Structure 1
Amino acid sequence: MAAVAIDSGKGGNGDVWMRLVSLYAVAAIYPSVQISVFVPPFMQRLATHIFSDRLFISCGRPSGRSLIYTSLGIKNLVIPIIKGCRFISPYGRQVLRKKGNFCRQVAGNMLYAIFDRLGVIQSPPAAGKTVYQGYEEITAVKAFRKTSYNAFCRQLKKDMASLQYKSVNGAPVSRALHIPGDLHQYILVFPAGTARQFIPVWWAKKFLPHACYAFFYKDKMANAFLRQGLKVVYFYEEPGDIIELAKYARHTLSTDSFPSHLLQYATGNCSITITEAPANAVTSPAFTGRVIDAVAPCHPCLHMDRGNHPLCQAGYEECINWKSEVYTKNILSAVCPVKNII
């Protein structure tokens, strides 16, 4: 039996979850390949609960031959490669298309092609069509590169019922998690995001004043919502907390952030707002909930975390989608299909 060891890397948590779901699908397509995945420690219990029937999940130290997912550029990988590391770069070429001038794109693509042939930086073939990011995550790996998009999507859809069942039945949760007894009466909103996805507190107060807003317990942004008299609940270190809260809510709304990637495979009673990436890149082809696509003329845009970038690529502090009447109307029609429930 062939074996592939993969380190899920240090990228965004949503990226890691898309990789797991996609590798889970690939494991069914290539049953003769044993796939071991090293995940962040906080994700191990939930990942083991959901994926361990096909994947070997571990948060221990990856083996020296593991392929490491990375978002770093080539120049940052040269020294680790010399030391024997091997990488998977799902979107290095995408960044070149978005940021590089023509000469940089040609030179960069040539280098990616050379490193891919050598097997030290494996990357998906350059393509202009935007597809679900999870597909690029797995076709970057040489062992799975012949997987067609149609076969991949079919397997995602086959897996959906099982993933939803395991997500809402027996998923590990934090001991500190508290489920409000009246949560079933509320629209539950996950408003956070490291970049411009976040829902501004003024928008929440004006348009969904009677919703319940869920925050990671260390997120100081929750205080701004509390000061406006908005109802707040907290989730903790176990990502299963997010799923457990959504299970009891009337409906769930999430920005395109980590919670949305968990919720896509846990429930169809969910709506997801799009601000940065193309909708079909970050929402699963198997997702049965509602997707509220961006309407801003500057969409799509690069992910730029607020901590290091006070302004987005277009020069705004807040995403201008939140100031659009059309965007707001689309959100409200998705989460409040019956009049007068907010």
Structure 2
Amino acid sequence: MALKYFQRALDKEFSIYVATDANAGLDILEAHGDAIGVVVSDQRMPGLSGVELLKKVRRNWPHIVRILTTAYADLDDAIEAVNAGEIFRYITKPWETKALRAEMKQAASMFRLQQERTELIREKMSVWQRLIQLGRLRDLIVMGGSVNTLRYGDAAVAAYLQDHVTANQNDDLASSRHLDLWQLTETEISRTLSFVSQVVTRIVDIANRDEPFATVIDAERLQQLVADAFPNVTIADRDRVPHIRGAEPVLTRLLEELATATGRPTDPVSIHPAHDDTAVSFSIPCAVLPTDSGLTSSDAAGLMASYLLAFHHGGRLELETSQDRRRYMVTLPADPVSAHPKPLSSGWLAPLLVRLEGWD
């Protein structure tokens, strides 16, 4: 009778679901909870009490405004629930139609206000997240251009970003725990300094060497260098693989960092000639991208170092993706001194920003 009375009083203004006990109510919430704004529960029901039910609602559907209806004899439970934040308010029985409608309208208004507040916070966090991501791109570009003992650092960073910037980058971005702008800024500075420190530590001794690319490395020696870093190496068209001039410390560090970043894959790493036999390429399988946890995560520091070292050697490092297979391709020229990467075109960063935003 109470359910019928409730529906008759309010069904012209609200879409109403009714249930005769708590379990039936939970079934309705499982099916329609995202579309429900207010739950009204009697305190005394078969099975769970009203307060126990509304605790579950608060935990699983926190957006829903919760109201307890109870007789005067159970007011202590209702007051305790209000004070504990379990319910928005309570309504005593018997109901008076006009008052009941007023209470429901207030509950619906509270629901809408909460939704508006949630949306504003979401928009605010979205802006902060984009600012964080843009700041990280800026910091990486500045870092690449600052290591003046490495050649083509800006091109290396550009290639790294073009391979790994995605709209759904799984970074530790701003969340509800970082609503303080100054705390967020401090956190980001610490993160960036840590990442730059890790990258520089990996390349500083190589970058500061004053060694010309004078060592001639033939196919056999090249295969040995690759095999020192990767457990499974094959070489195709050995006779066509050119001798390359290089600095073995640079190549050794490059391969070691790339092996660590890709988890030392057991699938074969293949060596083969490239660019009309004027360069050599290594094809390195990669099951999990080091940047899956973020462009400036500690896992990605070795990968960034690999890009910088590959470009310093006059070559390239790039990610190739086909269906469910991902490989890093290292291409090294036979003569690194005369090799120059393609200059960065004006506006090269704009497509990355569009991709980051996920805009069409």
Q: Does TM-score exceed 0.5, indicating one fold?
A: no
Choose between structure 1 and 2: higher helix proportion: 2
Larger Rg: 2
TM-score by length of 1: 0.23
